[in-house]
Amino acid sequence: MTRIIIIGASSGIGKELALRYAEAGNLVAITGRRNQLLKEMQQCYPDRIRISSFDVRDKAATNYLEQLVNEMGGMDIFIYNAGFGEPSEAFQLEKEILSTEINVNGCVALVGAAFQYFIQQGQGQIVLTSSVAAIRGNSWAPAYSASKAFLSNFAEGLNIKAQRLGKKIVVTEVRPGFVNTKAAQGNRRFWVSTPQKVAVQMMRAIEREKRVAYVTRRWWFIGQLLKLIPYWLYRRMA
């Protein structure tokens, strides 16, 4: 039985991951701000799901994580799925700040705590839900794209650090394309996948301990195209 903690699991991709991992017989701890939704999920698998309601921006967030690890008797996989991004034609400073606080500051605190735990344990796996948006800047949500680029580099840096420390710690960065969730917004959406399909492909990538995974897989082609488009052309699209 694998012990898995998912940060940001009250809905969408995180919810699907939690339910599928629990259904497979794993012990899963889920977090989110909406406690009632967490309780409803726990009722599906009361013996396999633990819950903790908190905001990743809370200064005590790492304490809540430590409590969950103790309650589960350890941790094997840590998934940071919390995120925020709201596109807007106008520049809205408060939303840009919120994206940074959740996607960057919250991630560094909790992923850092998980990485430190795995160093002491000698092994483990960390999963960061990034985005195809990490590849280039975007005028509709500048801080969101920048924060996902941060996650991408953070994941790569942690992988290198784990190797230099001689620890069997794998950090998997998952880059979803457009996903049909309540929180998902954006202009010109295409290839929109369901959270169920994304969760299945994420689990496969996690099992294979991939360093970078695009979900769904066809978004890999978009990722490569984005890297090749020159700025003078890209700025007309973004």
144 has pLDDT over 80: yes
Bridge-based pairing state of the strands 49-53 and 77-80: unpaired
Q: Quick one: tokens of 95?
A: 């939303």
Work out the burial of residue 27: count CB atoms within 10 Å of its CB; fewer than 13 is exposed, 13-18 middle, 19 or more buried. buried
> pLDDT tens, 69-125?
999 999 999 999 999 988 888 999 999 999 999 999 999 999 999 999 999 999 999
Q: What pLDDT score does 185 carry?
A: 54
Q: What pLDDT score does 134 carry?
A: 94
Query: Please, what is the angle between helix 107-121 and helix 61-72, to 10°?
Result: 40
Of residues 189 and 145, more confidently modeled = 145
Residues whose CB falls within 8 Å of the CB of residue 129, separated by 6 or more in sequence, listed in order: 8, 13, 14, 79, 80, 81, 83, 174, 176, 202
User: 154-179 burial by CB neighbour count: b if 16+ within 10 A, else e?
Assistant: bbeebbeebeeeebebbbbbbbbbbb
pLDDT > 90 in the chain, percent: 83
> pLDDT tens, 12-22?
999 999 999 99
**Contact of 178 with 194, CB cutoff 8 Å:** no
Supply the residues annotated as catalytic.
Answer: 144
Global pTM? Answer: 0.92
Question: 234: pLDDT confidence band, cut at 50, 70 and 90?
Answer: confident
> pLDDT tens, 162-205?
999 999 999 999 999 888 765 555 556 667 789 899 999 999 99
pLDDT > 70 in the chain, percent: 96
Question: 63: pLDDT confidence band, cut at 50, 70 and 90?
Answer: very high
Q: Quick one: tokens of 130?
A: 């990034």
C-alpha 193/C-alpha 132 separation (Å) is: 13
Q: What pLDDT score does 186 carry?
A: 53
Question: 216: pLDDT confidence band, cut at 50, 70 and 90?
Answer: confident
Structural domains for the chain: 3-237 (3.40.50.720)
Give the containing element (helix H, strand E) for 172. Answer: strand 168-176
Residues pairing with 32 in the sheet: 53
Mean pLDDT of the chain: 93
Torsion of CA 67, 170, 85, 13, to 10 degrees: -80
Q: What pLDDT score does 184 carry?
A: 52
Residues pairing with 79 in the sheet: 6, 127
Residues whose CB falls within 8 Å of the CB of residue 186, separated by 6 or more in sequence, listed in order: 87, 140, 178
